Amino acid sequence: MSEKSFLTALSSNALDEKLKELISGERELLTEIIIHICEVDARKMYLDFGYSSLFDYLTERMGYANGSAQRRIDAARLSRDVPEVINHIESGDINLSQISVMAQAIRQVPKGSKVSKEIKEQMVADLCEKTVAQSEILVSCALNIPIKELAKTKHQKDESIRLEVTFSKTQWEKLTKARDLLSHLIPDGSWDHIFEYMSEQVIQKKDKTSIKTLKPSKAKKVDATASVLDGNNDQDYKPMSARKTRAHIPLSIQRQVLNRDKCCQYHSKITHQKCGSSWKLTIDHIKPLWADGSNELENLRVLCAAHNNKVYHDQAGIRNV
């Protein structure tokens, strides 16, 4: 008998009980997944596997949709401070959407302030058996922050993107002032043109691959940013002579490296996965300066900040053996 035929033969009460049993098993499996994700995060194992973040690891390697991945990450990281949240998820007292509401609110807390473990524990207790709407109100009151809707993007048939985002009063005032200042350049004042213009300005100023010539008056200013882009973090243990050499990678060489690589070049020895991230790119020495590496183009590569940090710790560990 097929599964469908078996189900049609069940009474409504039996079908109800069967569904309850399956949902209970689903929650139990979910908590096991969250515990595993927590361990992957603690080890930063995703870096070894060629991914720049836990989010990329879950979406690209494990096949989760973006929202599903982020909700599980939020739950895993909350469980480090509030382990009992795992039991609440398994029992059904709290769902992942509520946890994401809490995590998003915590991320809105101003830098410099910290949400204590005790406050998190109390919020988890308060969220039990509440709806998502009730959870939003409880969390915003507990952290004394306004309820803020997340940005939403929708991919449309013509390949355009629809963006919905909520601005604070101050942010909106800044945006409208910027639009007024651009009124001569963009007379229609349409927001898509305003944002496009602003984006082009940022790209011109910040994207080193787009810089072709530098005026003498600006050369020193751009050079001051080289130490940020040149991401080797080995200043704690390399000799002074190497430190001086490292500090002066010519800007022309930096631009050549960025134009050549364009993204993180880290390759996992385990999965042979290339990271490919374009987030917080840095320039790394393939052969470290403390091992007589040079600033030549052939010895330079682009890494994301996460993999640059991993490579630094790996190299430091090897050197300290």
What are the tens digits of pLDDT across the range 191-245? 999 999 999 999 888 876 654 443 433 433 333 333 335 554 444 434 334 444 4
Q: Are 26 and 249 in contact, with CB atoms under 8 Å apart?
A: no
**Res 290: pLDDT:** 85
pTM of the model: 0.68
**Res 235: pLDDT:** 40
Higher-pLDDT residue of 280 and 96 is: 96
Could you state, in order of their start, the residue ranges of all structural domains in the chain? 3-143, 167-206, 226-320
Mean of the pLDDT values across residues 89-116? 92
- Please give the full DSSP string across 207-274, using - where no structure is assigned: -GGG-----HHHHHHHHTTHHHHS----TTTS-HHHHHHHTT--HHHHHHHHHHH-S---B-TTT--B
* pLDDT category of residue 7 using cuts at 50, 70 and 90: confident
Q: Is 239 exposed, middle or buried (0-12, 13-18, 19+ CB in 10 A)?
A: exposed
Of all residues in the chain, the percent with pLDDT exceeding 90 is 59
Q: Which of 26, 196, 201 is nearest to 96 (CA)?
A: 26
Q: Are 72 and 80 in contact, with CB atoms under 8 Å apart?
A: no
Structure tokens, 243:
């430190």
Q: Are 27 and 92 in contact, with CB atoms under 8 Å apart?
A: yes
User: Helix (H, G, I), strand (E, B), or coil: what is residue 164?
Assistant: strand
- Residue 78 pLDDT greater than 60, yes or no: yes
Per-residue pLDDT tens over the stretch 13-30: 999 999 999 999 999 999
**Res 188: pLDDT:** 85
Amino acid at 73: I
**Res 166: pLDDT:** 83
**Res 33: pLDDT:** 98
* pLDDT category of residue 35 using cuts at 50, 70 and 90: very high
Q: Are 139 and 101 in contact, with CB atoms under 8 Å apart?
A: yes
**Res 311: pLDDT:** 94
Cα–Cα distance for residue pair 70/97, rounded to 1 Å? 10
- Residue 8 pLDDT greater than 90, yes or no: no
Cα–Cα distance for residue pair 82/75, rounded to 1 Å? 10
Structure tokens, 86:
């795992």
Per-residue pLDDT tens over the stretch 136-194: 999 999 998 876 666 777 788 888 888 888 888 899 999 998 998 888 788 888 999 99
Cα–Cα distance for residue pair 244/248, rounded to 1 Å? 7
Cα–Cα distance for residue pair 127/167, rounded to 1 Å? 27
Which residue bears the tokens 């998190």? Answer: 120
**Res 210: pLDDT:** 57
**Res 195: pLDDT:** 93
**Res 247: pLDDT:** 53
Higher-pLDDT residue of 114 and 41 is: 41
